[in-house]
Chain A
Amino acid sequence: MTYRQARWAREGCLEPLVFELSKAGRMGASLPRAPARVKIPEKLTRTSLELPELSEPQVVRHYTRLSQMNYGVDSGFYPLGSCTMKYNPKVCDELVNLDGAAHIHPYQAEETVQGALELMYRLERHLAEIAGVSRVCLHPSAGAHGELLGMLLVRAYHKSTGSKRTEVIVPDSAHGTNFASAAMAGFNVVVVPSNNRGRVDLGALREAVSNRTAALMLTNPNTLGLFEDEILEIAEAIHKVGGLLYYDGANLNGILGKARPGDMGFDIVHFNLHKTFSTPHGGGGPGAGPIGVVRKLEKFLPVPVIEYDRRRKRYYLDYNRPNSIGKIKSFYGNFGVLVKAYAYILLMGAEGLEEVSEAAVLNANYIMRKLLKVEGYELKFDTSGPCKHEVVFSAEPLKKKYGVRAHFVAKRLLDFGMHAPTYYFPPIVPEALMIEPTETETKEELDQFIEALKQIAEEARSDPEKLQAAPTATAIARLDEVKASREPILSWRMYRKLAKK
């Protein structure tokens, strides 16, 4: 298969900016006329506003062209490790546009939003069942936001027991946000190394725990795509000193129906609905990062909590929770995203979700075994057992032999009409290529991906210049990202100011 991304270009640039397309007097929306003029104190009155002026067809063409110069899951294979870029069923998107979803206000009288509350209540119950926890808070807007909530709950819990806990333990293979989230909640971070099997070094962990330990943040399967098979020992080590276990949900897609974080001993379980539950990522959000908890932490959850009054047969928002930490976001969460995730769970059912994990894990193992036979890529840790939903290869042989680094491999892949894997992560793997195929890819696609990587390894030997020049099939060639950061131009205003100079 060959690939060429759409490229709308003019002299020196691609599609112009909306500001460059503007002509005074054009208008791209029809609005009701203001019924009257209003009086605003003069010192607060706006005198100039330099927004672009375009007609509706121009706006439509402009953004259609931009979209054509963007690559999504709907365009092709997106093996971006740790991001679970699976196909997003269209029906889920459609439901969000319903009047009863798009046009309800969070402060409306409860009796006028019973359907919305019911949907959230049910989604919460389903997520609790999937993770093996007792309650779930749907408020967080993204993965990192959920992590922050998790850490605030840890803080609240220890405060309530009167114990001063200052440390959160994080493995060296963890997502970078784990470190930041713990720090944001005021904790010191203690990093424990991985062992040579790519799992948490239990010896180091046992040395690290103490009565200062507030929690351990762990993702399982971990970022190497490997299951932490000593999870019960890990949990025991943390619980023994009175710490809590926090589950990072980025990798839940590998164990749906096969193992539940709650059963492994986790006290706080985080979900990424925009990963595991197939809500589209939108180029960087909106997502949703719900947090589930075991019973003893329920009382700390943010307000409001949705409850059901059996007598009156009514759902209601419970704000009367004296131990609640308060709020971490206005209102009740990214409802539009929640609707999609709820619909997805119904589409799949229990067996479907289990099949998701089976197919995702098989796809990852298929790539692992096949790619191991390709010269240029190797595994740095345990190669004997299976991986879960993703596999982390190292392109170090290519670097050592031909000086070709992982990001060249990644950039060249774009020319094959495939998105790049995550690279240089996790940091414990040199020249890492983190590949997560997901369950929604065909065997044919996986074969093509492996062929592409094989061809790239061959090019590293025979035609390294081609790799240096890649990608060439994309709308634009490689960008000068160093310059972009050294002399940042962050807006049209800054650009004009610089142009004047």
Chain B
Amino acid sequence: MQKQNMTVPEGTRDLLYREAELYDSVSMNFERVYTQMGFSRICTPAVENYELFKAVNRSLMQENIYKLTDNTGRLLAIRPDNTTPIARVVATKLRNAPLVQKLCYNQHIYRVNSENSGMRNEILQSGIELVGAGGIKSDLLCIMTALDALKTIGLNFKLEIGHVGYFNALISKMSLSEEEIMDVRSFVEAKNFVSLNMFDKNLQNDVIRKLPLLYGNEEVFAEAETLAGDNAEALAALDYVRELYTTLCGAGYGEYIMVDMSMVHKFDYYTGTVIRGYIDHAGEPVLKGGRYDKLLEKFDYDVPATGFAINVCAVADALIKSGKLPAEKHSYAVIFYDTDSLNAAIELMNSYRERGLTCELSAFETLAETEEYAKAMNIETVIDLTSGKDGDKA
């Protein structure tokens, strides 16, 4: 085979041994938090109709989606996002199911990133969707689930809370064109003060310049209030975040939470509270989520929803960088047997397994090969049940 066909496509990777185990343990820890808090598992297909994603998410770019065709020539997409398919399932198969629906998932998303950017095109996401509740309690539930999930990682972390209503209310008062709003939105999201200043030269608008500075802790609320002035909608969004913040502080989460009133996610389906999570040793937010009350409406099912996704790959990378790989596992013993001693070998192996020890049956024909294998795999004990009568021992 040609060498170039023996490598993996750009942005994907093979996982082996402890690294593969790390991905499993990270996502299983998250899943345990979700299921213990009453979330049920959901799996959706890796391929969906392309139009599904384009219809509900304008900010997902065509060039970032892997596309293929089905047997009738219709365009399919390899899932670039988990929330949209889950919304589809809730709006169709679960339409008559009782609300609230609390769903959790561990599955990959696929995005085409530019070449040599070092970014992952295959990302394992672990997350929840909470459909059918719109009040502050559902936001609290979502945030507390996120906090508890982040806690299982074992690295220093922060979760920040924002509200897209604050930005939207302020920007709608500025009589800007849709194109200008898109620009400001991306500058604010990128905290690009330089471009905002330049944009602001003709506009002379204090609000635009100060918006991206509204991140931190309690001190943010006073500044954000001044900036909002008499904009009732913006003040309402701010009050909502303050209530979440105070409640979470009261519940003992104070040291983990921050506020960013300028947070506007790239995906434009968010309508209310938005959250982002950071951990040490990860150069990007590892958790993203928020409220998307208008998304299910696109599937003719008008119910509010909220949720988040954690990038398991980024978490695993951070754990590796911090030197926290799971301990190397070795089998306790390998048993060498022959036809006569097979039953005794199985019995012995099972007795070890019952004690919670890993025990292997030898896959080799000779004791010498078995011993060599044990040495290579760091297995301390080799048990020979053949009593040497085959002459293998020599």
Chain A complexes with chain B: no
Q: Enumerate chain A interface residues (CB-CB to B < 8 A).
A: none
